[in-house]
Amino acid sequence: MKTFIVKLLSLVLLIGILTAESSQIQAEEEAVHKSKMEFNEVELTKQQLAELKTLHEDLMNQRIGVINKYVELGVLSEADGKEMKDHLDKYHKKLEEDGFIPKWDKHHGMHKHKDE
């Protein structure tokens, strides 16, 4: 009987420790999520803009290649693949208009939840 009580108390203690630890991890993740990423307002040189444009075009072409492969393998339909590529194209055009610096505001990127 004494062994049973010791095992039961050990189990309750273990559950308490694990619950406290998971709460701490969750709190840290929420703090990271709530912190807003900010981009500095800078004037990029023509060379810097050209470098960013090349990098973003390469990235976009790789993403289009992955979408095309999914369509080829039957993971995505032709229509879904086209829709995804159209979305990428709009994103790239908007990014180019913004000088290849993301313009995240309160309505895009970081959404507030009802309980915040």
Distance between CA 37 and CA 39 in Å, rounded?
A: 7
Which residue intervals of 35-77 are DSSP H helices?
46-73
What ranges do the domains of the chain cover? 1-35, 44-116
pLDDT digits (tens), the chain, 116 positions: 778 787 777 777 767 777 766 666 666 666 655 566 677 788 899 999 999 999 999 999 999 999 999 999 999 999 999 999 999 999 999 999 988 887 766 455 554 545 54
pTM: 0.56
Element (H, E) at 24: helix 2-34
